[in-house]
Amino acid sequence: MERCPVRPDPADAALFDADYQRDPYPSYARLRAVSPVRYLTLPTGLTAWLVTGYEEVRQALTDPLLSKESRYDAESTDGLSPSMGASMLNLDPPDHDRLRRLVGSAFTRRRMDALHDKLADSADRLIDEFAARGQADLMRDFALRLPVGMIGELLGVPEEDRDAFFELAHDYVGFTPETRERAAAALAGLNEYMAKLIAAKKNEPGDDLISAMVEARDQEQRLTDEELLANALLLFLAGHVTTAGLIANATLALLRHPEQLAAFRANPDLVGNLVEEALRFEGPAELSTMRWAKQDTVIGGVAVGKGERVLVSLGAANRDPRRFTDPDAFDLSRADANQHLGLGHGSHYCLGAQLARVEVRTALGRLFARLPDLRLAARYADLEWMPGIGRAPLSLPIVFTP
């Protein structure tokens, strides 16, 4: 079968130029105007259907004919997916639902509440470390450290291992074709570390998520070793760079919109709206993970052939003018901001959504309370952004009165 029903248009290559990396939304607007479901060559060199419309994205994320399992890809995969193949993120029902239920059962109310109690303290302690300096890299000194600490705590990663563990995770998450080897080595290192941690928790269970997952397995005998490992790794990877990105992106959006910043300062209770609007305006999971058509299907009236890749842009959907009025405006009073797709949609909707929301609300609340004259120390146009499917600045220089 001809796998490529529409030739990628050479003009589409211009969509992913240097400006796209800095600000992808104008590219998405141009693309959506041509077609919200468009076959093209991605910056990774892979061809895929890129979905940029709000309704079309919701449709793609709930289409049972679109699989998360890379075995449906008729061509080669990126070479990094298989080791995570047993994670819920990369599986369809019934395996997906079984794993999500088992892992989700370890996310107990009590465990989340215990974490919440620590959040404000952890945020304050991190701020204490740089408050006297009058300047900081918000990404490195705060936004990344808070969720790494929290997810490390949740999984039961010993304190002394967290920095090294974070470096490995970071190398893997931001991978590009050029850094593929480093990413593969980092993933191997992460696998090895997690396997050791799981073995240690089996011998000596603690009050942590990995021990709870081991126990769930031992009681039901339904989580294989491979699944346990892949899902523990998924929780770590999914739980920190995204959360860090949202803390940074929300801060950045506020600093670039002084009238919104003034509104937030006047009424800190707006922090809930701030988090939802930041997820809409500049969510850190800008593109979803890949999906493959198990059979021919139709998305937004466009025929997608069996074996073809579908990549959904959550960021583009969140700026679709057919769904959000004046979508490029950052506005804390937007009543329907929480209709964003920044945490996904359908059966793979973010498992850590509530945790992420509480983390980011606490982080932003403490940050702006403690550093009332926080300012950006770089031009927005000069910021460098993480490569890959996420959207977060690599670093975010800030200044403030010590």
Residues in contact with ligand HEM by CB under 6 A are: 88-89, 100, 151, 234-235, 238-239, 242-243, 246, 283-285, 288-289, 314, 342-344, 348, 350-352, 355-356
Candidates 340, 341, 248, 344; CA nearest to 289 is 344
Which of 135, 347 has the CB closer to ligand HEM?
A: 347
Candidates 278, 275, 240, 284; CA nearest to 357 is 275
Residue matched to tokens 């990105």: 245
CB of 246 to ligand HEM, least distance (A): 4
CB of 108 to ligand HEM, least distance (A): 13
CB of 313 to ligand HEM, least distance (A): 11
CB of 150 to ligand HEM, least distance (A): 8
Token representation of residue 76: 């080669």
Which of 186, 285 has the CB closer to ligand HEM?
A: 285
Helix axis angle for 353-370 and 145-155, nearest 10°, is 140
User: Sign of the C-alpha dihedral, residues 24, 29, 34, 39?
Assistant: positive
Cβ neighbors of 1 (< 8 A, separation 6 or more) are: 305, 306
Candidates 32, 27, 60, 38; CA nearest to 298 is 60
Which of 112, 394 has the CB closer to ligand HEM?
A: 112
Which of 156, 284 has the CB closer to ligand HEM?
A: 284
User: For 260, phi and psi rounded to 5 degrees?
Assistant: -75, -40
Which of 198, 355 has the CB closer to ligand HEM?
A: 355
CB of 238 to ligand HEM, least distance (A): 4
Q: Which residues pair with 287 in a beta bridge?
A: 313
9-14 CB contacts, 8 Å cutoff, 24+ apart: 9/40, 12/38, 12/40, 12/41, 13/40, 13/41
37-41, strands of its sheet edge to edge: 37-41, 47-51, 309-312, 291-293, 66-67
Pairing of strands 291-293, 66-67: antiparallel
Which of 238, 400 has the CB closer to ligand HEM?
A: 238
CB of 104 to ligand HEM, least distance (A): 9
Which of 393, 400 has the CB closer to ligand HEM?
A: 393
CB of 351 to ligand HEM, least distance (A): 4
CB of 375 to ligand HEM, least distance (A): 24
Which of 342, 365 has the CB closer to ligand HEM?
A: 342
CB of 191 to ligand HEM, least distance (A): 17
User: Sign of the C-alpha dihedral, residues 333, 339, 344, 349?
Assistant: positive
Q: Which residue is nearest to ligand HEM (CB)?
A: 352
The DSSP call for residue 143 is I
Which of 169, 235 has the CB closer to ligand HEM?
A: 235
Rg value, the chain, Cα: 21
